[in-house]
Structure 1
Amino acid sequence: MLEYIGLDDSPILSQIPNQFRSAAFLLHPFVHMPDGWEKRKRERPFQHIYPSDEEILNIGKPIPWNHISQQSGLTLHEVGIALHDHRDNRPDLTNQLLVCFDTDLYFPMEDKLSVFLLNDISKVLGSNGADFVLYSEPIDGRKGRLKIEEIKPEEVSDLTPSVIMLMDENLEFAFISEYDTYTTLFLTKDDNIAEIIRRMNWEAIICDNKTTPTWFLQKS
């Protein structure tokens, strides 16, 4: 079983295990809750509330980065920079991003796997005959496995408060969440990663030999 893969600032494809040949960053959807949801949830004026995983799954709507890009006039890379403004100091892009926000639109899920992606991730992990998902998380060093056909998104979300790596038992696919990111790193041992992404209708940045974890700072 593979241990959680921590990444440095070098190109992704140069630091992933040898059995993986392709990688892509899956873009976590923004979260839209029903109109007036936050106002009804507030206990005091101007309190900011982020919906729980259960609320997102039950009544939330995924909003793709492309939609946010069109509404804000930013490229996908600029949306990425704006989301990471606390680290990259581009308040101009952040302000431009916030123009398209209303009170019930929220940033994508950070650090952990987006609950919007978990059902599709389970499908990919079981697509080549695997019966179990293996998981590894670095905070407490926990590892284990779950039966794919019994997995529920909220169960995966509860495995760890933040970062985790999921793999199929045959180690053909891996999905990795990282600190301070709004993406999931998808690894596969085959070269058909673009076809998988297209089939699952994911938004993604496919890694080439130069793509680093800060892909949004690289020229598109």
Structure 2
Amino acid sequence: MLETLHFEEGVPILRQLPKPFTSAAFLLHPFVRMPDGWEEQKRKRPYEHMYPSDEEIIAMGRPVSWQSVMTVCGLRSEKETALALMTAVTALRDEYAHPESARLFNRLHPDLYLPSDDVTSPFLIPGLLDVFRSKGIKRCTYYEPVEEKGIFSLNQTAPSDVCGLLRADMIIADEKRRAAFMSIYDSFTTLFLMEDQDMPSVIRAMSWEAVICSDTACINWYSQ
């Protein structure tokens, strides 16, 4: 059942997928580049922590790929980048943390921000909705782990509306389970599911950065 979907660590994702899903991929949330001077203009007090809202990201932000950030920072792989991101937000601590990798983010431009960590990136939502529409999907269901659930029409819902709806670990799927996506808490990724096996072609067509799940890939793919 999608309402209670939970993935065990150490068990391959593809072995845990509810029917009829057969393929999965972790979509990497892009980094967020705001206009030069954005943070300085927004900050009201020295050292105030700033992060653009979904509305500001959609209106003024530009997506920056993990590959671009890896080149600037000297990070060697998507796995190392994921571990660095999780360390930077203290999702990994003690012996699991990678502080040396996280410090490499200091090389980034001051108006370039880490990806959204708990919910699906606003940069990905329009493409995800387009994929749903391309499959003839008209209505979607959504499930939040604690209590929120409902239905929305793709023809009457803008990407910004979906961004406002999102919660950590929320699953959005079409009613016939042809496609679904799930935000994962503290992960900087969204798990995208499909019932068919054309995941690589969809990823290429949408120009997404992704880690496509192999037969052995688990929810903690970054540490395998």
CA distance in 2, matches of 1:50, 1:99: 16
**TM-score normalised by structure 1 residue count:** 0.94
Q: Out of 194, 197, 200, which is 2:203 matched to?
A: 197
Q: CA deviation at 1:210?
A: 1.1
Structure 2 CA distance for aligned equivalents of residues 42 and 99 of structure 1: 19
Question: 1:167 is matched with which residue?
Answer: 173
- Percent identity between matched residues is 41
Root-mean-square deviation (CA, aligned residues, Å) is 1.4
Partner of 2:5: 5
* Runs of 4+ residues over 3 Å off in structure 1: none
Cα distance in structure 2, aligned partners of 1:201 and 1:4: 30
The SS at the match of 2:134 is: coil
- Residue 119, structure 1, aligned to residue 105, structure 2: no
Name 2:81's counterpart in structure 1: 79
Q: Identify which of 124, 132, 137 aligns with 2:144.
A: 137
- Decide whether the 8 Å contact of 2:144 with 2:167 is kept in 1: no
Offset from partner CA, 1:186-212 (integer Å, 9 cap, x none): 111111000000001100000011111
Aligned to 1:82, the other structure's residue is in SS state: helix
More helix by share: 2
1:95 to 103, 116, 125: 103
Give yes or no for contact 2:82–2:187 (8 Å, CA) kept in 1: no
Q: Give the Cα–Cα distance (whole angstroms) in 2 for the partners of residues 204 and 51 of structure 1.
A: 24
Cα distance, 1:18 vs structure 2: 2.6
Amino acid at match of 2:83: I
Q: Distance in 2 between matches of 1:184 and 1:92?
A: 25
For residues 69-101 of structure 1, the C-alpha deviation after alignment (integer angstroms, 9 at most, x for no partner) is 1111212211111011131311011112x1431
Q: Any gaps of 5 or more consecutive residues in structure 2?
A: none
* Structure-2 separation of matches of 1:131 and 1:32: 33
* Alignment partner, residue 190 of structure 2: 184
State the 1:4 CA deviation.
4.7
Paired position in structure 1 for 2:17: 16
Any stretches of 5+ residues in structure 1 without a counterpart? none
Q: Report the secondary structure of 1:156's partner residue.
A: helix
The Cα of 1:48 is off from its aligned counterpart by: 1.5
> Contact (CA 8 Å) 1:163, 1:177: kept in 2 or not?
yes
Give, in whole Å, the separation in 2 of the partners of 1:37 and 1:4. 40
Under a length normalisation based on structure 2, what TM-score does the superposition of the two structures give? 0.92
Q: Does the aligned pair in 1 maintain the 2:73–2:108 contact within 8 Å? A: no
More moved, 21-30 vs 67-76: 67-76
Cα contact 1:4–1:137 (8 A) shared by 2: no
Matches of 1:36 and 1:162, distance apart in 2: 30
C-alpha contact (below 8 Å) 1:68/1:100 kept by paired residues: no
